Amino acid sequence: MNYFLTGGTGFIGRFLVEKLLARGGTVHVLVREQSQDKLDKLRERWGADETQVKAVIGDLTSKNLGIDAKTMKALKGKIDHFFHLAAVYDMGADEEAQQATNIEGTRAAVNAAEAMNAKHFHHVSSIAAAGLFKGIFREDMFEEAEKLDHPYLRTKHESEKVVREECKVPFRIYRPGMVIGHTSTGEMDKVDGPYYFFKMIQKIRHALPQWVPTIGVEGGRLNIVPVDFVVNAMDHIAHLDGEDGKCFHLVDTDPYKVGEILNIFSEAGHAPRMGMRIDSRMFGFIPPFIRQSLKNLPPVKRLTSAILDDMGIPPSVMSFINYPTRFDARETERVLKGTGIEVPRLPDYAPVIWDYWERNLDPDLFKDRTLKGTVEGRVCVVTGATSGIGLATAQKLADAGAILVIGARKLERLKEVAAELESRGASVHAYPCDFSDMDACDEFVKTVLDNHGQVDVLVNNAGRSIRRSLDLSFDRFHDFERTMHLNYFGSVRLIMGFAPKMLENRRGHVVNISSIGVLTNAPRFSAYVASKSALDAFSRCAASEWSDRNVTFTTINMPLVKTPMIAPTKIYDSVPTLTPDEAATMVADAIVYRPKRIATRLGIFAQVLHALAPKMAEIVMNTGYRMFPDSPAAAGSRSGEKPKVSSEQVAFAAIMRGIYW
């Protein structure tokens, strides 16, 4: 038996060819000249040679599929079954491409089948041909389709119309539901249908423990079927006698609602399930024009667009959340009765589908999420770069190929660091600057812009920390002034200096090294925490103004790090701290992923506790304040003796890991 396929190298086609070869048939596959390599690889997969799977050079959008006269003559009268699978199966494709492929491509396939004198024509349509019909759509219904405004729905309907009205070869039409991966392997070739929501599920999994219930939508019923069911059903039906002129719904007759589908895949992906699902019909009492007006408000449109873009969900997909159509499949059930070919239940194979997506189709797999890919050839400024977090960060940026600009107060040390970084093959430019001096900050900005033209990444790391209780600070107002000058005014001066060029280029990222103390309201650090809090507040306000201009901010609420800045407080030698390299890794993550904030879970918990139960948070911090004394230097003593640390202090510090005391 001889077969001809368009779309034979596509997702459904590659499985169908395998079934047809198992019948001992010879399969002719339409391919473009430049796609023959793809067919060669598929032959290896099928275990077939060129006598079993023959390439027919052509093009779907050309007359008679672009098949030359000699080949067409050789095929004439020899094709038993012509399968037309080639189409655009993409909700996000542009209308012109869908028109050319789905409609004109089908017309070319119909004409080619007639020119070959094919005995049967099998058209793979879609449930999309029903449009957004409200109610039950039967297999003998076609003209009743409604709401075909979306190009995908309209072109699938029109392509089926071409077959019904123009095809002179006996035809059969198949309308599969939303086709997803194979039930055994999970194999799928692209993100489509329910896959669009997998990234959202994955992000929720990363943000929340699996046991935390979430709130989501209920939605309509989406008809999802695995590719192996579709192919098995199509192969069986195509070879039956007496079924020409009929349409078959290859669907799940008991489909799941959107909310149920999301929960099934959430469980498969070990993500939190939606404990509460909101049915949009609850808002049916609101007049449609009011709902539409709210959706069209600029802030709502911006927010919706940003969220969908972050999740990788095309806006058009959201119009199918409340999918209104159910599909009757009595003809399909009749011809498949007793064959064992049936739609498996989604929970039984969802883990396989999820696993394949996460290993092969997750969009993040195809993004360069390395520091090198982010900063190579970009101008990155690091302040306070001669020790601690700043030095470790500069080393990572240097190794990643950044055009590195480093600044610090001590010229000799700055030269040493620059020489060490250059010895690693880095492009390093060192400029001395006291970032607590506003004139020096202005000069630094001018020098950098004159020499490099722009700044792509600014890491505000230079800072001053003072650990002293308020009881010992009544006569030390200058402590508050000097921390504010360096930690706040200096950083803001740099941001305001580099921002105009960032805004002009519509590209820039500011990383502020803040403190976990801002989240915990750490005692003894009132001067330090206040200055960092001011910078946090400034950055939030600036981000709100520049959000639509691609100039972004990340605040890192850094836990306790073992740097020269904490060296005077000897008690920190006995409590858990991060290494500078670990802290620099947090900075690298900030540069690559650009989150709004990076903080430890304990820091976030402290912030939430302070918001929900401020007195309780205050008592916890006061307990730590009383447990850990001021340093001898803060108390006015010159003793260099290391204070003794009790087991209670060690235990408390371990529980409150990373918090300043």
Active-site amino acid positions: 528
- 205 contacts 271 by C-beta, under 8 angstroms: yes
Kindly list the distances between the CA atom of residue 337 and the CA atoms of 236, 247, 328, 331, in Å, as whole numbers in the listed order. Answer: 11, 16, 15, 10
Please count the other Cβ atoms lying within 10 Å of the Cβ belonging to residue 340: 7
Residue ranges of alpha helices (H) inside 272-387 are 288-295, 298-311, 330-336, 346-356, 371-375
Lookup: tokens for 149: 């405004």
Provide the angle, in degrees to the nearest 10, between the axes of the packed helices 388-399 and 411-422.
30
- 47 contacts 78 by C-beta, under 8 angstroms: no
Provide the angle, in degrees to the nearest 10, between the axes of the packed helices 388-399 and 580-593.
50
CA 218/CA 257 separation, integer angstroms: 7
Residue carrying the six token digits 């008991």: 254
CA 204/CA 206 separation, integer angstroms: 5
CA 287/CA 81 separation, integer angstroms: 52
Which helix (H) or strand (E) segment is 53 a member of? strand 53-57
Kindly list the distances between the CA atom of residue 479 and the CA atoms of 75, 482, 621, 632, in Å, as whole numbers in the listed order. Answer: 90, 5, 22, 17
In one-letter notation, the amino acid at residue 594 is R
DSSP 268-291: HTT---EEEEE-GGGGTTS-HHHH
CA 131/CA 145 separation, integer angstroms: 5
